[in-house]
Amino acid sequence: MARMVTQLLILARTDTSATMTREPLLVVDIVDEVCRKAQPADGKLNLECRELDLVEDAVVLGNADYLEQLFLILLENAFKYTPAGGKVEVIGALNEDTVAITVADTGIGIAESDLSRVFDRFYRAENARFRSGMGLGLSIAQSIAEHHGGKITLESTVGQGSRFTVVVPLLNKEDRVGVRSEREQAHAAKKKDLIGHM
């Protein structure tokens, strides 16, 4: 019950957006924190956070508390809907204008007809009948992503697993391009050097 009240309060706050102040922050700091906090309780699942070095320079205009909440909601679901022995992964990726963090599981999966509805408030799919919950987590997660100018995409196959990807616009696109071109320059110089020795 206490949890439901908290969720409703979060939902009410994300509805008004008045309290969601945002500042430039490193996404990887939040994801690292979440990976540290969110170890599966019973040790029957394996959590792996990987390719986070790809997003280590990614800066977004964000609210750290809300973004943390978003990733915790996705991880809580991944743990809840993945049977013992399964695997949950958090994977970073960088696109031209966005940073993408995927939470993937090898769990029960979601039927195609439910894919668009699981983000609705209080909606729980047929697959959730053996687990308790309010059907609020994903609606809150989606609302937080939208308040960051982002979105959550979902791919899932029944019996195989689900992949939720949070996509948020980058704030430091120019900086990153600068960093990349420096790396590319270094790489090109090294290559030239190698060829010179052949």
Ligand X SMILES: Nc1ncnc2c1ncn2[C@@H]1O[C@H](COP(=O)(O)OP(=O)(O)OP(=O)(O)O)[C@@H](O)[C@H]1O
Choose the contact partner of 135 out of ligand X, Mg ion, none; CB within 5 to 8 A by kind: ligand X
CB of 20 to ligand X, least distance (A): 20
CB of 108 to Mg ion, least distance (A): 13
Q: Which residue has the tokens 């609302």?
A: 143
Residues engaged in binding ligand X (CB under 6 A) = 77-78, 81, 105, 107-110, 118, 123-125, 127-128, 133-139, 162
C-alpha to C-alpha distance for 12 and 7, rounded to whole angstroms: 9
C-alpha to C-alpha distance for 196 and 198, rounded to whole angstroms: 6
Task: Using only the alpha carbons of the chain, give its radius of gyration.
Answer: 19
Instruction: State the CB neighbour count (10 A cutoff) for residue 190.
Output: 10
Q: Which residue has the tokens 């924190």?
A: 33
Q: Which of 62, 92, 107, 137 binds Mg ion (CB under 5 A)?
A: 137
Choose the contact partner of 118 out of Mg ion, ligand X, none; CB within 5 to 8 A by kind: ligand X
Choose the contact partner of 168 out of ligand X, Mg ion, none; CB within 5 to 8 A by kind: none
Q: Return the closest-CA partner of residue 77 out of 128, 116, 112, 43.
A: 128
Q: Which helix (H) or strand (E) holds 78?
A: helix 64-80
Nearer to ligand X, 28 or 118 (CB): 118
CB of 58 to Mg ion, least distance (A): 26
For residues 39-98, which are near Mg ion according to CB under 5 A?
Answer: 77
C-alpha to C-alpha distance for 161 and 187, rounded to whole angstroms: 38
107 is a site residue for Mg ion (CB under 5 A): no
Residues near Mg ion, by CB under 5 A: 77, 137
